[in-house]
Amino acid sequence: MGGDSIVSHGTTQDSCLEEIPLRSLRSPLAVRDGMGLQDDRANEENGLAFSKIGEGNTQPCSRFDFEVNERNRLSIGEEIRQSYDEWEIHSKDLREAKVKILRYRPGAWIEKVGGLKWSDYDVPKTTCLLLVGPSRSGKSSLINRISKVFEDDKFAPARAQESYNSLIGDGTYFLQEYMIPRDSKSFCLYDTRSLSDNSHKYENIKILKSWMTKGVRHGQLVVRTTDDQILRTSLKVKAHKNVYLSSKTRKVNFVIYVVNGLSVLKAMENTGALETQYIETIVSTFNCPFLSFKDDKPVLVFTHGDLLSPSERARIHVHLGKILGIPPMKQIFDIPDSDCQLTESAIIRMLRYSLEHADQNFPQESMVVDKVLKISQSLCMILLILAVGVAIALTHNMFMHQRDHAPQQHAHGREVHATRLKHKVKEMEPKIEWHKIRHMW
């Protein structure tokens, strides 16, 4: 490691382009008929193909608004298209960007706003980035791709288990933690079980809420209420064999949402039930409030771009930005499964975005509450000590007062007793009638 050099696994910088199929050899995903196909070809001649304006918009639109939206789309699309043509990425710039990720420490990009200091934030020892997404979105493949960027060992095996055939593959049922780089403790990626389709959206929300509020733990089994008994039995057997008693629960600091670019394009060009359901699943789960940190929505990555043309990839950028309400050029990253400097650049930019936003959203409320509680506890202790001291002082004064007045009380008592005895003696003495015995004198 160390980040002193960049390992380029491709033969040329254009290796990403070599894997892009020709338009004429594409699969039937893009086959359309009538005016739709002619309009799409006309748009391609201008540099980009787009979906229809006003799609999903029920509000009436004036001609002026229509033209503004069209120009905005063309501008964004052209910018995205040009980004795929910028193949000359300087190794020095890429190396410097990579070194910044390697030198990252939690809290390194905290913005000191609102009069708060670095010490006012609850900074974890390891920043946790959670990967979520629908089935077959490529989360495990993305983790392997990210890990490979920061590995100096070309022959290092893949870290995350990938499913080759989704029909018989098990997928990810146990949460898996991956340190990036593997010998670091600065930040980690969590591979998760795929989300269900939108017919079980409440199940998805329940799982996402659990991860975001209770935290995630390496080796944690994820079971749905919709899982059949055979699957449940199989998972319990696997869980029994893989017990992680020492794993630590980590609080999620930011979310990376992963989708399959091929599936998105298919949904854009078809209106079948499955395609519509895929887009609905993305929209409902991406906008789940538990995945956002205040105003910060997750970063979005779409995969399998190496099987698409630049125009198709640009269309996906624009479409996802429109339906999710996020800027296509800043918060959506195209990371294909290919070895080239453009892919490495996209990975590094995506991680930089995620880590910066994770740092900016570290909570400070818990720290403030802890301080208030500590101050309150200190005040309570001081008041308790004062109360005990006052009670002891009062008790001591009462004791001294009683001790000082005890002799006087005893003397007074004796005097009273003597006086009473004198009175009794006088009462007991015989009375002599002197006038009767005066003749004796």
Top-confidence residue, 151 or 298: 298
Whole-number pLDDT of residue 147: 94
Going by pLDDT thresholds of 50, 70 and 90, the confidence category of residue 211 is: very high
Whole-number pLDDT of residue 237: 84
Top-confidence residue, 169 or 350: 350
What number of other Cβ atoms are within 10 A of residue 229's Cβ?
A: 7
The highest-level CATH class for domain 15-361 is alpha beta
> Which of the 8 DSSP states describes residue 333?
E
Burial 22-34 (b: 16+ CB within 10 A, else e): eeeeeeebbeeee
- The string of pLDDT tens digits covering residues 54-91 is 344 445 556 666 666 666 666 666 666 666 555 456 67
- The string of pLDDT tens digits covering residues 279-329 is 999 999 999 999 999 999 999 999 999 999 888 999 999 999 999 999 998
Any idea which of 26-30, 113-117, 211-215 has the lowest mean pLDDT? Answer: 26-30
Closest listed residue to residue 313, CA positions, set 90, 83, 93:
83
What number of other Cβ atoms are within 10 A of residue 97's Cβ?
A: 18
Residue 303 has phi, psi (to 5 degrees) of -105, 180
3-state secondary structure of 238: helix
Whole-number pLDDT of residue 4: 41
> Cα–Cα distance between 404 and 406 in angstroms, integer?
6
Domain boundaries, the chain: 15-361
* CA 27 to centroid of chain Cα atoms: 38
Going by pLDDT thresholds of 50, 70 and 90, the confidence category of residue 270 is: confident
Going by pLDDT thresholds of 50, 70 and 90, the confidence category of residue 425 is: low
Top-confidence residue, 7 or 147: 147
